[in-house]
């Protein structure tokens, strides 16, 4: 999801009035997000990135991200998908 700050605000956080839009991530951003999560030993986390002139820049990793804004923007059950994935791993 791409977040856009509201007019007159520099922070794009959803809880601060920012708007989330569903996008398809460029492969470099996907790979960067996965590498960042793995670097701190997490299978699931929120990865906040900025667009740099030379590619993605990781700003923050959230071990306990909120999914409300992401689910609203993408119209997908993100939390449910994570639970289903965890259950499938547990049944192995």
Res 22: pLDDT: 95
Residues spanned by the domain of 7: 2-90
Bridge partners of 50, per DSSP, are 57
User: What total number of domains does the chain contain?
Assistant: 1
pLDDT tens string 41-58: 998 999 999 999 999 999
Q: DSSP assignment, residue 14?
A: G
What does pTM read for this prediction?
A: 0.83
Which CATH number do you get for residue 60? 3.30.470.20
For 57, how many CA atoms within 13 A lie in the half-sphere containing its CB?
6
Work out the percent of the chain whose per-residue pLDDT is above 70: 100
Res 55: pLDDT: 93
């Amino acid at each position: 999801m791409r977040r856009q700050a509201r007019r007159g605000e520099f922070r794009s956080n959803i809880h601060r009035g920012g708007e989330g839009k569903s996008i398809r991530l460029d492969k470099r951003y996907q790979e960067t997000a996965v590498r960042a999560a793995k670097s701190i030993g997490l299978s699931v986390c929120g990865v906040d990135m900025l667009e740099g002139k030379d590619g993605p820049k990781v700003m923050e990793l959230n071990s306990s991200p909120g999914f409300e804004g992401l689910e609203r923007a993408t119209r997908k059950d993100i939390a449910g998908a994570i639970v289903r994935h965890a259950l499938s791993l547990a049944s192995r």
